[in-house]
């Protein structure tokens, strides 16, 4: 049994997290929320990529009003991200937000938090209490001599305590830091002290390259220790890339089934086809298939066929051509220019 098997079950719209339920993948829109068309289009693209729960910022009344219209056109739960203005939290919930994310530390006085909790309670809407290393309170920074894992945990549990004081425990917690190992340490400490579901992410992780590496290391360690009920990979890039990375992390850790795994060789002097180009095209192409199989894209006729045979289906490159190998059997020899289409055809007609 892991930590996540014992967390509290929380319902977010049509999704259920905690208590050992499957780990949900989240992302966040980067359109102005009040631009309903742009926001809906981005959410639909995220849904198609495999996003389970989406978050949008609600900085003003127009954005809060837009939630009602956005909700009519999407199919996954929508979380309202609130900073500073407690009235926006209430407006977002009144317009149909499935969850709100607040940092009680920047919402203001207890009576404002109480007003938010009252609305959440009336509608049974979960609240995510989010604490970032960049917004730790001065007294905590002084007590711990700067940003520390213990400080993050104390800050988060303090905030949770404020909400519990108002009689509400439909909560999720997140603590985020761009310092990967500090974030790992903080999650270990937090998981020992609470059974609220944890939303895990490495915040401000960076660009596609650096962000993917940092998120994979941080989330990989935390998830592998049985911690985390929902995740977000934060990237300075297209949000759908976050989903792709998150799915790969979960699949690699054996925490999610489904989706095609692509293995490909690093190429060497034997490679006589554009293997790197082909592998990238294959990786993009397979995103649309819900099959739970392994596809190998190998560069040569020496090691390639053996590796390709271990996968469910594979390509082993030759001189401007390749062998298509399915379940260990060579299906046919295909010119290089037709390899991608030949593979696609096999996937479209897959009946394992």
The site map against ligand SF4 for 245-284 (x = CB under 6 A) is --------------------xxxx-xx-------------
Q: Which residue lies nearer to ligand SF4 by CB, 31 or 303? A: 303
The minimum distance between CB 336 and ligand SF4, in angstroms, equals 14
Q: Which residue lies nearer to ligand SF4 by CB, 171 or 323? A: 323
Q: Which residue lies nearer to ligand SF4 by CB, 220 or 306? A: 306
Q: Which residue lies nearer to ligand SF4 by CB, 6 or 270? A: 270
Task: Name which position in 298, 323, 334, 343 contacts ligand SF4 (CB under 6 A).
Answer: 298
- In angstroms, what is the C-alpha Rg of the chain? 23
CA distance 267 to 274: 9
Site for ligand SF4 in 196-215 (CB under 6 A): none
Q: Which residue lies nearer to ligand SF4 by CB, 61 or 271? A: 271
The site map against ligand SF4 for 299-318 (x = CB under 6 A) is xx-xxx--------------
Structure tokens that stand for 246 in this block = 């998150």
Count interface residues toward ligand SF4 (CB under 6 A): 12
The minimum distance between CB 318 and ligand SF4, in angstroms, equals 10
Binding interface with ligand SF4 (CB under 6 A): 265-268, 270-271, 298-300, 302-304
């Amino acid at each position: 049994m892991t930590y996540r098997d014992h967390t509290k079950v929380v319902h977010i719209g049509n999704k259920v997290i905690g208590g050992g339920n499957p780990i949900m993948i989240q992302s966040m829109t980067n359109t102005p929320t009040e631009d309903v068309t742009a926001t809906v289009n981005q959410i639909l693209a995220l849904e198609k990529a495999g996003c389970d729960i989406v978050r949008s910022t609600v900085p003003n009344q127009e954005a809060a009003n837009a939630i009602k219209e956005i909700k009519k056109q999407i199919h996954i739960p929508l979380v309202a991200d609130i900073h500073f203005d407690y009235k926006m939290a209430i407006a977002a919930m009144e317009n149909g937000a499935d969850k709100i994310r607040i940092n009680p530390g920047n919402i203001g006085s207890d009576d404002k938090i109480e007003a938010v909790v009252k609305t959440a309670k009336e509608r049974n809407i979960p609240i995510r209490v989010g604490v970032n290393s960049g917004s730790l309170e001065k007294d905590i920074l002084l007590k711990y001599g700067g940003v520390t894992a213990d400080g993050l945990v104390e800050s988060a549990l303090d905030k949770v305590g404020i909400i519990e004081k108002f009689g509400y425990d439909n909560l999720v917690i997140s603590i985020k830091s761009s310092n990967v190992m500090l974030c790992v340490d903080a999650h270990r400490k937090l998981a020992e002290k609470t059974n609220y579901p944890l939303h895990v992410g490495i915040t401000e992780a960076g660009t596609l390259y650096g962000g993917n590496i940092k998120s994979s290391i941080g989330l990989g360690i935390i998830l592998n220790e049985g911690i985390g009920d929902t995740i977000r990979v934060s990237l300075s890039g297209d949000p759908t890339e976050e989903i792709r990375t998150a799915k790969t992390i979960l699949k690699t850790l054996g925490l999610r089934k489904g989706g095609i795994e692509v293995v490909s060789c690093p190429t060497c002097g034997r490679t006589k086809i554009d293997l790197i180009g082909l592998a990238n095209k294959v990786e993009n192409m397979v995103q649309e298939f819900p099959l739970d199989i392994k596809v190998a894209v190998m560069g040569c006729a020496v090691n390639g066929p053996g590796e390709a045979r271990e996968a469910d289906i594979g390509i082993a490159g030759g001189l401007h051509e390749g062998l298509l190998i399915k379940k260990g059997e060579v299906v046919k020899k295909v010119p290089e220019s037709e390899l991608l289409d030949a593979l696609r055809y096999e996937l479209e007609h897959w009946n394992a």
